[in-house]
Amino acid sequence: MKNTKILTLTFAVTVLAFGLAGCSKKETTTGQLVQESDTVVTTSDSSGNEAAGVESDFSTVGDFKEVATDGKNPKIKDTFTFDTNYTDNSWKNVEFSIDKAKVVDTEKYQENDDETTYTGALSLHYELKNDGDSEVKLHPESAVVILEDGTQVKAESFRNTLSSAFSKGKKEGYIQFKFNKSDSDDLSKIKEINVDFKGKTVGDDKEDVDHEYKADLNTTKDTADTTKETSN
């Protein structure tokens, strides 16, 4: 079964900037995330009973390929991919943009020696442009996936491919989060995704938090086109 839906999401980021005098200001910027596709693969047996199939695994999905290992390469059952033109330049000399988000529903897996079992992941592809002399970097904190029925699936950061500070340049990377959902949670009914980041300035063997991003992604369903493919 292959489902394709078009969703429009409003990406609102609340920015908290810390001033030298101890003052702070909040700014909100918006952009749009458009769901590129959501895909589910199913097969049926001779009796017509459907069973969830496997579309891919971490090693074959660009967003997660670099984190795949022998001990952590879960099969992916559902994927939900979003494109966005989001850009934020409220941090002095820094432009932060996100052009893709992906949520995957996976078989159970564990992260290194973590005893917690996870059943999904969220990935954001982003670009950071720094026109200033100070070295900066972005640190992911946490995320929450909220479903239409109000269920909150809490996620935690487990990888940032662009973790080194830099100045005078432009770099891109992935921020990835892991989560454990219940079997009844339907990721095709995502209503909102809230993500927290910290922007840090690095120097003299210390890191200062100069910026905080709280990103709220809200879905608005415009159209839905669903097709079904079944193979024996």
- List the end-to-end C-alpha distance of the chain, in Å, as a whole number: 12
* pLDDT given at position 130: 95
Looking at residue 33, its pLDDT comes to 54
Contacts of 150 (CB under 8 A, 6+ apart): none
Residue 53 has φ and ψ, to the nearest 5°, of -100, -170
pLDDT score for 158 = 85
CA distances from 27 to 20, 22, 23, 132 (A): 17, 17, 14, 21
Please tell me the pTM assigned to this model. Answer: 0.75
Helices and strands: H and E segment counts in the chain: 0, 13
Whole-number pLDDT of residue 59: 86
The torsion angles phi and psi of 59, rounded to 5 degrees, stand at: -70, -15
Return the structure tokens found at 105. Answer: 């529903």
Grouped pLDDT means (10 residues each) for the chain, 232 residues: 47 46 44 60 44 67 81 86 78 87 89 82 92 92 90 91 91 92 90 83 83 73 33 36
Going from N- to C-terminal start, the domains of the chain cover 3-226
